[in-house]
Amino acid sequence: MAVKIVPVEDGAQTVTSAGDQVWRKMYPSMDAATSEAIELQIMGPKEKGIADMSQPMPTYAQGFSSPEVEVDPNELIRRGFLLDP
């Protein structure tokens, strides 16, 4: 499963995908998004600290992404992620 956490105008959005399925969840802030990413083991504490910086490092300027993480789709649904139609 691939994941991307990006800052958006009203907070942050996490997008995960596996094959042709995509799940999304909006958050009030980047901190909220990265906190749940820690709980889901999508990222580690060091990555969270860098992603949450007000002026992130260049590699995190567009948010955080990982081409491969292990996340149970049922856990995403349980946590309020919505499957794209």
pTM (two decimals): 0.85
Provide the residue range defining the domain that includes 25. Answer: 2-83
DSSP for 39-72, written as a single string: HTTSS-HHHHHHHHSSS--GGGTT-EEES-----
**DSSP-derived 3-state class of residue 20:** coil
Q: For position 7, what pLDDT does the model report? A: 87
Q: Alpha carbon 76 to chain centroid distance?
A: 11
pLDDT of residue 85: 87
Q: Provide the edge-to-edge strand list for the sheet that holds 21-27.
A: 64-66, 2-8, 11-18, 21-27, 82-83
Whole-angstrom distance between the N-terminal and C-terminal Cα of the chain? 18
Rg of the chain over all Cα atoms, to the nearest angstrom:
12
Amino acid at 40: L
Number of domains in the chain: 1
- pLDDT for residue 40: 94
Low-confidence ranges of the chain (pLDDT < 70): 54-61
